[in-house]
Amino acid sequence: MSESGERKSKIGISIGDVNGIGTEVIIKALFDQRITKLFTPVIYASNKVISFYKNRLDLEFHFLQATSINQTSSKKSNVINVWNEEVNIQPGEANSDGGKYAILSLKAAVEDLKSGKIDALVTAPINKDLMKGEGFDFPGHTEYLTRESGSDKSLMLLVHEDLRVGVGTGHIPVSEVASNLSKEKIDQKLTILMESLKNDFAINKPKVAILGLNPHAGEKGLLGSEDQEIILPVIDWWKDKGHLVFGPFPADGFFGTKQYKNYDGILAMYHDQGLIPFKTLAFDEGVNYTAGLSLIRTSPDHGTGYDIAGKNEASPDSFRNALYLALDIINRREETP
């Protein structure tokens, strides 16, 4: 219970790659114990991994050890021991242990998330290649959480303050983007974006921009037909229904002239088209949110950071923002009738 007598939300945290910066940013984000007045943090890992990094960082990070969610305290940060064996932690080194323990942590956290024992999950960065070598057959967290939620539809949505960028196609090769776009796919992603803006971000009448696929949004067919034949009809259909949907915009000019400031949400056509400008604008503070699921999952918008792992150089801002966004979405969904 919180000081006001209301139930405090429990937010689970998966450890990610133990050789990356994940544990460091987790400890730094939770170091100020006042955070436990807002929610109950539950880290799925091993007290030995947490102790290794808190000693390396020379931080007096206090936490409660537990073997299950039932043993956690609402007044402290908690570590559920998913494994007990010693881990040969090698900060900055990409090895099989990084994949193995990331999977164990993630699966344990997702089980508690699915059963309602935690209210949301914040995932620390993983090395997808190493996890694939350990039997994790997914391109990333987004696809795994989508499957585990029992859905086949979700949207990768990058969030920083009033900037929200979704991607129409996720972790696929650029050579396959055009063939993966259809009116139905764009309509599906736009539907998820619209519903998330309303339900998760409390925007009653969202104004959304749709980016074009080709240079100059196809230049009226001169540089490709997809913008006119696939994207524009979806925009027109949504406009006819009374929604504030505009585009397709040439991506370079849209961000270069700061038009993004005029919209509540943006739908890019592929991964790098949306993530390059987003990370340029908000790299150390942005959050990756998996929209469209019954489960709530956020993450920092950066990777494992092997080059600075263990050096006490990683910023916790993105991870902290991921925790706060998860809490905001929990609260907004509880307020929705």
Confidence (pLDDT) at 307:
96
Confidence (pLDDT) at 337:
61
Confidence (pLDDT) at 3:
45
Same domain, 205 and 326: no
Segment holding 251, helix H or strand E:
helix 251-256
Is there a contact between 138 and 147 (Cβ–Cβ < 8 Å)? yes
Tally Cβ neighbours within 10 Å of residue 37.
Answer: 12
Task: Name the residue among 268, 291, 278, 265 with its Cα closest to residue 206.
Answer: 265
Q: Which tokens in the block code for residue 49?
A: 């991994």
Confidence (pLDDT) at 2:
42
Same domain, 203 and 157: yes
How far does CA 263 lie from the centroid of its chain? Answer: 21
Boundaries of domain holding 163:
152-292
**If you count DSSP H runs as helices and E runs as strands, how many of each does the chain have, helices first?**
12, 12
Domain with residue 282: its CATH number is: 3.40.718.10
Is there a contact between 47 and 55 (Cβ–Cβ < 8 Å)? no
Confidence (pLDDT) at 82:
97
What is the C-alpha to C-alpha distance for residues 329 and 87, in angstroms, rounded to an integer? 34
Q: Strand order of the sheet with strand 10-14?
A: 63-66, 77-81, 40-45, 10-14, 120-123, 297-300, 287-291, 155-160, 163-167, 265-268, 207-211, 244-249
- Phi, psi (deg, nearest 5) at residue 120: -160, 165
The 10s digit of each residue's pLDDT in 212-252 is 998 887 677 777 788 899 999 999 999 999 999 999 999 99
Confidence (pLDDT) at 184:
96
Task: Name the residue among 244, 262, 152 with its Cα closest to residue 204.
Answer: 244
Q: What is the mean pLDDT, run by run of 10 residues, along the chain of 337 residues?
A: 64 97 97 93 97 94 94 94 94 94 96 97 94 83 92 94 94 88 96 97 97 81 82 96 96 95 97 94 92 96 94 96 97 83
Same domain, 122 and 142: yes
Same domain, 279 and 300: no
Same domain, 275 and 316: no
Task: Domain count for the chain, please give it.
Answer: 2
64, burial (CB in 10 Å: exposed 0-12, middle 13-18, buried 19+): middle
Same domain, 106 and 166: no
Same domain, 81 and 124: yes
Same domain, 274 and 336: no
Segment holding 236, helix H or strand E:
helix 232-240
> End of a domain among 292, 311, 327?
292
Confidence (pLDDT) at 215:
83
Same domain, 277 and 333: no
Same domain, 297 and 170: no
The 10s digit of each residue's pLDDT in 154-211 is 999 999 999 999 999 988 889 999 988 999 999 999 999 999 999 999 999 999 999 9
Same domain, 171 and 277: yes
Same domain, 184 and 174: yes
